[in-house]
Structure 1
Amino acid sequence: MLRTIGLQLHSAITGSYVSGTHSVVFVNCPNEQIAKDIARAVLDKKLAASVNILPQAASLYFWKGEIEEATEILLLIKTKTSKVFMLSSYVRLVHPFEIPEVFSLPMDQGDVQYLKWLEEGMEED
């Protein structure tokens, strides 16, 4: 948490982007309606600024000792790195899977105007 605060402070003072300030969170969903419901909810709660819904990802995975195959919908959720824990916790609460796939990758670089727009999209009213 101190690292996140330090990154935000550095970014605010210098006006430059600090690598890792934002993250992309990946979440697989069983169908499009659940994906849309989760996407809208995380946006409404200001846990993210943008969500892409990518249709029909073929998934193969081990589950209870067996290889399973499914068609899933992939969410790409753009958020502040400082919100990843809250976002992940919320997704686990509302997701129908027993163990939902939720992981994040920090953004290394990006367009400054886009990253500013992300920040503005998550500001509390």
Structure 2
Amino acid sequence: MDRLGSRCPLPGYLRRSVLICLLILAASFLSYPVLRTLSLQLHSAITGSYVSGTYSIVFVNCPNEQIARDIARAILDKKLAASVNILPKASSLYFWNGEIEEATEILLLIKTKTCKVRMLFSYIRLVHPFEIPEVFSLPMDQGDVRYLKWLEEGTGRTEWGRLVAGPAGCL
């Protein structure tokens, strides 16, 4: 019976080299988001400049003001955002089940770190009453440095009165 290795046209040492290269490539690809986040934070700390896309605004429509307030408070309590604006009475027209629907909704504008957006989306899907909640984000391109510093502090987790790192890749 043939061994798998005997069918490969590459000599043994070359096969190991190819395998090592593939493993390095896979490790680099999988660690890219964490490395990118760390490098952007390092660049920002050294230069004192804002890196576009570090923070995002998340948009969420809610059916009424009470649900909007409940979701906003829970998001803030969990440090998933630093600030939430509740904008009343947004008129919405949309397709649902093949029909044009019309509703009055409450719009949440949620300011957070871009690295927390995925967790925020997951949380909103858990607590939102809509079958398919409208949840999307846009990265912030620019912002006042003092406001962005405040946003950073507002989305960090505190432990014994000091700021500590958040979820993996989200410092």
Query: Which TM-score tier does this pair reach, normalised by the shorter chain?
Result: over 0.9
- Tell me the CA shift for residue 84 of structure 1: 0.3
How do 1:3-42 residues align onto structure 2 when only pairs under 5 Å count? 3-42=36-75
Secondary structure in 2 matching 1:97: coil
Asked whether the 8 Å contact 1:53–1:75 carries over to 2, the reply is yes
- Tell me the CA shift for residue 6 of structure 1: 2.8
Q: Which runs of 5+ in 2 are unaligned?
A: 1-32, 159-171
TM-score (norm 1): 0.96
Which consecutive aligned stretches of 4+ in structure 1 deviate over 4 angstroms post-superposition? none
Amino acid at match of 1:64: N
Q: Does 1:121 align with 2:127?
A: no
Give the structure with the larger strand fraction.
Answer: 1
1:51 to 38, 62, 84: 84
Q: Does 1:80 align with 2:117?
A: no
Q: Distance in 2 between matches of 1:112 and 1:55?
A: 29
Partner residue, 2:17: none
Q: Does 1:99 align with 2:132?
A: yes
Q: Distance in 2 between matches of 1:6 and 1:59?
A: 41
Partner residue, 2:10: none
Asked which structure has the greater CA Rg, the reply is 2
Amino acid at match of 1:44: D
Asked whether the 8 Å contact 1:24–1:107 carries over to 2, the reply is yes
TM-score (norm 2): 0.71
Q: Deviations over 1:56-103 (max 9, x none)?
A: 000000001110000000000000000000000000000000000000
Q: Distance in 1 between matches of 2:121 and 2:134?
A: 10
Q: Distance in 1 between matches of 2:119 and 2:153?
A: 18
Amino acid at match of 2:56: S
Q: Deviations over 1:4-54 (max 9, x none)?
A: 333223222322100000000000000000000000001000000000000
Q: CA RMSD in A?
A: 0.9
Give the structure with the larger helix fraction.
Answer: 2
Q: Distance in 2 between matches of 1:27 and 1:5?
A: 29
What is the aligned length? Answer: 125
Asked whether the 8 Å contact 1:4–1:81 carries over to 2, the reply is no
